[in-house]
Amino acid sequence: MARIRLQSVSKAYGGGQAAVTDLTLDIADREFVVLLGPSGCGKSTTLNMVAGLEEITRGTLLFDDEVMNHTPAHKRDVAMVFQSYALYPHKSVFENIAFGLRMRRVPEAELTRRVHDAAERLEITHLLQRRPSQLSGGQRQRVALGRAMVRQPAVFLMDEPLSNLDASLRIAMRAQIRHLHAEMRTTFLYVTHDQAEALTLADRIVLMRDGVVQQLGTPHDIYERPRNMFVAAFLGSPAINFLDGQLSTESDAPCFRRGELSITLPPGIAATATRDIVLGLRAEDVGPVQDGFPVLRGMVDTAMPTGSDQFLGLKVGGNDVFVRVGKDSAVREGETISLGLNPARLHVFDKASGLSLLHGHS
Amino acid sequence: MTIVVNTPSRPLLPIVVRGCGLAVASLLLLFYLLAPVAWLASSSLQTGREIVSVPPHWIPDHPTLRNFKAIFSAIPGLGASEAPAPDGTNSGGFIPSTAGNLLPAMLNSLIVASIVVLLNLIVGVPAAYAIAKIRFRGRNLALYTVLATRVIPDIALVVPFFLVVRKLGLLDSLTSLIVTYLAITVPFSVFVLASTFEQLPDDLDRAARVDGCSRSQVLLRIFLPLARPALVAVGLFAFLASWNEFLLALMFTQTAASQTLPIIVAAFTSDFTVSFSFLNAAGVLAVLPPAILAVVFERYIVSGLTAGAVKG
């Protein structure tokens, strides 16, 4: 159990390229924080710095109130699950799980008990005598989890632990990891590039890009109030639609204009010098036309039923817009339809800076 | 109506011809490689007269352990035991005057080779691990510097080595051989071990460190067991290189106190007569230790130990 604080932490490699720039993060004890971002965004580097596997170039790392910058990995009370699992191929499953305990000179009886407990929880007791090469991907993954669990560490680190599993197993394991967090009652720091994983698991998400934090907040915050276009585009499936246009303040309410399209925006747009703005519209934020609400008209280019839902590719004034409609909606390709928009659910960005213009986003 | 399509099977004849060709070629190669060894072993059990008989006897008519007895009964350091064998002076059955030096020389060779193997591993393993798994400034430079020493042929090193060894007062000592053999074998060991460690996933290194291993514990507990085939290969190489080395040993050793097996065996031909039977018995003894080592460690020289380490 530990509170982890990163204070203006930076990591630069020999060639001067920065992997992480000025990262400040305060992770409460027992919190589940997910570092999210595309590959190369510095999330794994951050995790490795917390683990002690990478040196910190600048800044301070604290566990509770203790500076950890120069404490080697084996003296930090952390456990880590790797994307590749990194099981010791020459050791049995039992010895793999027990290894961390052996290194810490845990008495044999206690060690055996803890390994068996973990194995039972993960349902791998029958595999304890096998070698890693005799296991399936999912089983290896459990062994890797078990190896970290038995340590009962102060900080539990996971580096894309589910990316090598197939889709259905991945979803099942998400639930298991949530349970694990609840039971272990320790601080979790989890790295992934999978937004669904992040949204499901995290108490808070740190969304990173090119070594810089883009937004830090609860999954709900980050999804509903993205600070910039990158955050808006990274979260959500299908991806958010962006429409370029102009901000018009001629009437009393601010308005998004693009050719014939005119959409009344929610009040409270930040004062901005620019008139070039980008409207962000999530696929699910359309509905039936309602009085007083802005309307989006477009020609149906493609209709894609997915079973539980139906997605439409619309042509709106030369732009492609992807929306979700009910599965019962009987729309044919080539038709022109009108959809209602909820101004409260629209996102507005400054085109030049990419930052959100809605209040309370930054 | 069904249409039967005969899939054209591959013509049989070329396959047979190819198989036979390969078999014949393999047999020829085997004969080329093994016949000298077989003759060495066979003739070590023959008398001098039988060896030179025409046609040669691959299987001795009268196998005798006389040659081996001579080796094991000769008294070390006693030079004047050059005695004709009982079957006559013309038989070529002389026991060379230096026969008694053979066993001490073997012991010298064994000491030198074992220490060279040991030091190779002690020096090579940490060096290779550092080069393979620790990111430090000058890592590549270190590797290339180590390798560059192997670009220079041994013959060019003989004189400088000799001068250094003489200055250090190490002439005619086993130490001189150990030091120079290390210079020759360590770069190769570091190179082989570094590429082996490099192939082991970085995540294993990191997992072990998070699990509570210091760098040296990672090396001892994780990497060494996994690199066993390479360790055996490196050890065998160092052993053979030291066991067989002739040129440097010829330069640095002068007396039986430090002479190694190749020097002593070579000296057997510098007597007035060459006793092929005795020479071949000595040859058999010289071949035995490396052969035994190869057989003992053969089962370790298999890879595939890393299977299952990472996602498969």
pLDDT digits 0-9 by tens, A14-23: 777 889 999 9
How far B204 CA sits from the closest chain A CA (Å)? 5
Going by the DSSP 8-state scheme, the letter that residue A265 receives in this structure is P
* Confidence category of residue B148, pLDDT binned at 50, 70, 90: confident
DSSP string, chain B: ------PPPPPHHHHHHHHHHHHHHHHHHHHHHHHHHHHHHHHHTS-HHHHT-SS--SS-SS---HHHHHHHHSPTT-TT--B--TT-GGGT-PBPTTGGGHHHHHHHHHHHHHHHHHHHHHHHHHHHHHHHH---TTHHHHHHHHHHTTTS-HHHHHHHHHHHHHHTT-TTSHHHHHHHHHHHHHHHHHHHHHHHHHHS-HHHHHHHHHTT--HHHHIIIIIHHHTHHHHHHHHHHHHHHHHH--HHHHHH--STTT--HHHHHHHGGGSSS--HHHHHHHHHHHHHHHHHHHHHHGGG----TTTTSS--
Contact at CB, B217 and A78, closer than 8 angstroms? no
The tens digit of pLDDT for each residue in A109-133 reads 999 999 999 999 889 999 999 999 9
The tens digit of pLDDT for each residue in A222-236 reads 999 999 999 999 998
Taking contacts as CB-CB distances below 8 angstroms, the residues of chain A near B308 are 87, 89, 131-135, 140
Average pLDDT estimate for B246-253: 90
Whether the CB of A72 is below 8 Å from some CB of chain B: the reply is yes
User: How buried is A235 (Cβ within 10 angstroms: 0-12 exposed, 13-18 middle, 19+ buried)?
Assistant: buried
How far B128 CA sits from the closest chain A CA (Å)? 20
Q: What is the CA radius of gyration of chain A?
A: 24
Q: What is the pLDDT of residue B72?
A: 80
The fold for domain A240-350 equals OB fold (Dihydrolipoamide Acetyltransferase, E2P) (2.40.50)
The tens digit of pLDDT for each residue in A46-67 reads 999 999 999 999 999 999 999 9
How far A100 CA sits from the closest chain B CA (Å)? 4
**Regarding predicted confidence, which is higher, A220 or B85?**
A220
Taking contacts as CB-CB distances below 8 angstroms, the residues of chain A near B227 are none
The tens digit of pLDDT for each residue in A123-172 reads 999 999 999 999 998 899 999 999 999 999 999 999 999 988 888 888 88
Give the Cα separation of A27 and A47 in Å (integer). 13
Chain A residue closest in CA terms to B136: A14
Q: What is the largest CA-CA distance in chain A?
A: 78
Q: What is the pLDDT of residue B302?
A: 53
**Regarding predicted confidence, which is higher, A325 or B307?**
A325
The CATH homologous superfamily to which domain B114-309 belongs is MetI-like (1.10.3720.10)
Taking contacts as CB-CB distances below 8 angstroms, the residues of chain A near B137 are 14
* Confidence category of residue B4, pLDDT binned at 50, 70, 90: low
- Which architecture characterizes domain A4-233 according to CATH? 3-Layer(aba) Sandwich (3.40)
Contact at CB, B210 and A14, closer than 8 angstroms? no
Residue B48 pLDDT more than 80?
no
Tell me what percent of the residues of chain B surpass a pLDDT of 70: 85
Would you say the pTM of this structure is higher than 0.90? no
B55: preceding bond cis by omega (within 30 degrees): yes
Give the Cα separation of A138 and B221 in Å (integer). 26
Given phi > 0 = left and psi -120 to 50 = alpha, else beta, which region is A319? beta
Contact at CB, B310 and A14, closer than 8 angstroms? no
Q: Are strands A261-264 and A212-217 parallel, antiparallel or unpaired?
A: unpaired
Whether the CB of A154 is below 8 Å from some CB of chain B: the reply is no
The tens digit of pLDDT for each residue in A248-296 reads 876 667 888 887 778 888 777 766 666 888 999 999 988 888 887 888 8
Given phi > 0 = left and psi -120 to 50 = alpha, else beta, which region is A86? left
Whether the CB of A165 is below 8 Å from some CB of chain B: the reply is no
Contact B227, B258 (CB under 8 A): no
Give the Cα separation of B6 and A202 in Å (integer). 62
Whether the CB of A85 is below 8 Å from some CB of chain B: the reply is yes
- Say which of A14, A88, A157 has its CB closest to residue B204: A88
A225-234, A268-277, A319-328, B80-89: range with highest mean pLDDT: A225-234
Shortest CA distance to B211 belongs to which of B201, B226, B221, B199?
Answer: B221
Q: Are strands A187-192 and A32-36 parallel, antiparallel or unpaired?
A: parallel
Residue B54 pLDDT more than 90?
no
Q: What is the pLDDT of residue B305?
A: 38
Residue B309 pLDDT more than 60?
no
| CA–CA–CA angle B19, B21, B23 (5° rounding) | 70
Residue A2 pLDDT more than 80?
yes
The tens digit of pLDDT for each residue in B93-139 reads 566 777 788 888 999 999 999 999 999 999 999 999 999 988 888 88
Taking contacts as CB-CB distances below 8 angstroms, the residues of chain B near A146 are none
- For chain B, which residues make up each domain, given as ranges? 114-309
Best residue of A44, A57, A90 to probe chain B, by most B CBs closer than 10 Å: A90
Task: Quote ipTM for the complex.
Answer: 0.85
Q: What is the pLDDT of residue A263?
A: 83
Cα-based distances in Å from A18 to A15, A187, B97: 9, 27, 74
Average pLDDT estimate for B4-26: 80
- Say which of B212, B217, B226 has its CB closest to residue A89: B226
Contact at CB, B310 and A85, closer than 8 angstroms? yes
Taking contacts as CB-CB distances below 8 angstroms, the residues of chain B near A14 are 137
Q: What is the pLDDT of residue B80?
A: 38
Give the Cα separation of B134 and B33 in Å (integer). 43
Tell me what percent of the residues of chain A surpass a pLDDT of 90: 59
Counted residue by residue, chain B has a size of: 312
Give start-end residues of each CATH 3.40.50.300 domain in chain A.
4-233
Give the Cα separation of B172 and B252 in Å (integer). 6
Q: What is the pLDDT of residue B270?
A: 64
Taking contacts as CB-CB distances below 8 angstroms, the residues of chain B near A82 are 203, 206-207
* Confidence category of residue B89, pLDDT binned at 50, 70, 90: very low
Residue B1 pLDDT more than 60?
no
